Chains A and B, each alone.
Chain A
Amino acid sequence: MKTSTFTATLLATTLLTGSALMAADVTLEIESWRNDDLTLWQEKIIPAFEAANPGIKVKFNPSAPAEYPAILNAKLEAGSAGDLITCKPFDHSLGLYEDGRLADLSDIAAMANFSDVAKSAWQTDDGTQTFCVPMASVIHGFIYNKDAFEELGLTVPETEAEFFAALDTIKADGNYIPMSMGTNDQWEAATMGYNNIGPNYWKGEEGRLALIAGDQKLTDAAWVAPFEQLAKWGAYMGDGFEAQTYPDSQNLFTLGRAAIYPAGSWEISGFNGLVDFEMGAFSPPVQNAGDECYISDHTDIAIGMNAATEHADEARIFLEWVGSEEFATIYGNALPGFFSLSSFDVPMVDPLAQEFVSWRGKCNSTIRSTYQILSRGTPNLENETWNASAQVIKGEETPAAAGERLQAGLASWYAPHQ
């Protein structure tokens, strides 16, 4: 017994030493908030890269989405962050770049494959330096249960009136929860609520840029109107929506118990594997028939390099590959709902993803209103918007009061609004 253990130990040591000698391989670690994508990275993206680049191993290390910025900052400060950093758009990444945590990647050849708009979320304010390779954007809209719509004889709503008429029909029928959303986690109310339907009111980029310039205020009709619509949503949500969490909402919809799900396109890949009914999608309904439509096509995710990495050369090889057509095709199809920001014409197979991306043709794209510049101070406009949207849906704050509170908060630190 003793001898065999000893032999085993000897053998194990030999094996370990042996592989350690062979392993001149460099391992690159990726920090990310996309823990939902872990298997896709492990099974599709990383093997494709490793096959093409022997000697470089890649490890995907995601953390909880809402905690990601905090965790990442702490890791970077402690020097324990991975070699490659998944970049949130705008200020968070810009702050990291200015602190010298992210490397300047302007000289990456693959950057030529991205438009200026695609890169804008990961550039210095003057646009001269780019510090992350853009990966994908997400589009907001509504996913619906096609079977339920057919059963109730509903068609896809184009206008707000039709939208609420459809919700009323579903509610009157009583078999489905009209809208699957809760306010427990708060962010859905802002991201899938306010910033989903809002661009139609503030006219996308026009309103967003005017707000940044200080020409429009959050108390203006265009910015309060989305809250007015949200105030009506509460009546169509399930029992006890106040305590309904984000996973609860996802499950209610995929189990076929709810008819409409205010969504971001990132849900597609997760939902595809779970539903046994057909899903469709519609863009946020406009106020009056024939109005120009606006969608939130948010530059959401990019990848940069930890400035303190020991494997800068290998990391750059990986980043060049992220900018390639091969990556765009793998990523766009492995993760339907994350739309490549590159200029390549990537064919997509998923019908729901095709539906989402088709809105780019008929509507004007914008990004979430609170992300660029406006969330640099205290109180933080994005976080305040979460709270205000949830309060409005619950009917605990009036739309006008919410607008006034957000405006007062913004004006307290942002010079163009003072």
Chain B
Amino acid sequence: MANRRPIRWHIGVFLAPAVLVYTAVMIYPLFNTMRLALFTEIDQQRVYVGLQNFSALFGQAVWSDAFWNALGNNFWFFLIHMLVQNPIGIGLAAILSHKRLRFAAFYRSAIFIPAILSFVIVGFAWKLILSPIWGIAPSMLDMVGLKSLFAPWLGKEEYALTTLALISVWQFVGIPMMLIYAALLSIPEEVLEAGECDGITGMSAFWKIKLPLILPSIGIISVLTFVGNFNAFDLIYSAQGALAGPNFSTDILGTFMYRTFFGFQLQLGDPHMGSAIATAMFAIILIGVCIYLFGIQTRIRRYQF
């Protein structure tokens, strides 16, 4: 009774660096951005205007058209990743985890390498590959007699965004592959052997045993893809510039926010409107992640052993 537990200072001391650094570089800027969105500049004075920036963003055609266009493009960008990147990633992982595949380590690294390249390099390299003037894409198609299929994809409104999404898929397909590969390796042999005894082998073993067991990993990958895509900016910016041409067909929330916040050419930056867009982006990502956490992940957990 006499000796009360001493206050455990060391917990606070050890937590402090991380908490302080995280607060300074993440939490404070985040909330400050939200605060900035509630102001505007009139005659070089910062004035509090409440939600006026948001009502302009969603209510005035000048802003809302651009916003919905960017949001729509963002969903398309995300959809391509979900439909192309993740299934291919899962497929590659399934092939790589096959025990009789030779040079598996080589394929694994080769496929993963683009993910560690800089966006600028990827954007620039693909721009050159697809260039109608110097690119190798037209001549390669010519070699197999399919020149007629070539179009200046990055310059056409109807193809540009899909092309960029596929470039991004090429770059990042290694990440779902690696995560799924790790998940596949962790499936216990006994489970598979038990399945074999019941006559489940080959492809059906993948569909009936492995796939259900890696579903949680697929869920995580989906969330990572969602967050990554809705924060995307670099690839579009390096390939198409801040105006996200042609005719804003590749404009996503990231480029829209950049253009508004920092300005472009004669358009001066408007940090307050830019913050409003950034806040809207944050809200969209938050909602998406919450849907996953509360709607999907809880259900997946119940699935497990």
Residues of A within 8 A of B (CB): 66-67, 69-71, 73-74, 88, 91-92, 95, 98-99, 182-187, 238-245, 248, 251-252, 370-371, 375, 378-380, 382-383, 386-387, 390-391, 394, 396, 409, 412
Q: Which residues of B contact A387 (CB under 8 A)?
A: 243, 245, 247-248
Provide the B250-261 mask, 1 if CB < 8 A to any CB of A, else 0. Answer: 000000000000
Enumerate chain A residues within 8 angstroms of B243, measured Cβ to Cβ: 186, 383, 386-387
Q: Report the interface size class on chain B.
A: 35 or more
Interface residues of B in 209-234 (CB under 8 A from A): none
- Whether B62 and A243, one on each chain, are in contact in the complex, defined by CB atoms closer than 8 angstroms, is no
CB-CB under 8 A for A243 and B131, given A390-B245, A396-B157, A412-B62? yes
B264 contacts A185, C-beta separation under 8 Å: no
Other than A239-B133, A378-B270, A383-B265, give 12 A-B pairs with Cβ distance below 8 A: A69-B265, A70-B269, A74-B269, A241-B155, A243-B132, A244-B152, A248-B133, A251-B133, A382-B267, A387-B243, A390-B247, A409-B62
Question: Is A370 touching B241 in the complex (CB atoms < 8 A)?
Answer: no
CB-nearest residue of chain B to A244: B133
- Interfacial chain A residues near B245, Cβ < 8 Å: 183-186, 387, 390
Contact pattern, B 36-48, Cβ under 8 Å of A = 1, otherwise 0 = 0000000010000
Query: Within residues 128 to 159 of chain B, which ones have a CB less than 8 A from any CB in chain A?
Result: 130-134, 138, 150-157
Interface string of B95-135 (1 = CB under 8 A from A): 00000000000000000000000000000000100111110
Kindly provide the distance from the CB of B270 to the nearest chain A CB, expressed in whole angstroms. 8
* Residues of chain A contacted by B207 (CB below 8 angstroms): none
Q: How far is the CA of A262 from the CA of B192 in the complex (A)?
A: 68
Report whether A242 and B265 are in contact in the complex, using a CB–CB cutoff of 8 Å.
Answer: no
Q: Would A73 and B268 be within 8 Å (CB), given that A240-B132, A243-B153 are in contact?
A: yes
B249–chain A nearest beta-carbon distance, Å:
10
> For A375, what are the chain B residues with a Cβ–Cβ distance below 8 Å?
266-267
Q: For the complex, is B72 an interface residue (Cβ under 8 Å from A)?
A: no
Most buried by B among A74, A184, A244: A184
Residues on the B chain within 8 Å of A184, using CB: 154-155, 240, 245-246
Residues of A close to B153: CB separation below 8 A: 243
Q: Is B22 an interface residue, CB under 8 A from the partner?
A: no
Asked if A240 meets B246 with Cβ closer than 8 Å, knowing A70-B263, A375-B266, the reply is no
- Inter-subunit contact B131/A66 (CB<8 Å): no
Collect the chain A residues with CB atoms within 8 Å of residue B154's CB: 184, 243
> Is B242 part of the contact surface with A, judged by Cβ < 8 Å?
yes
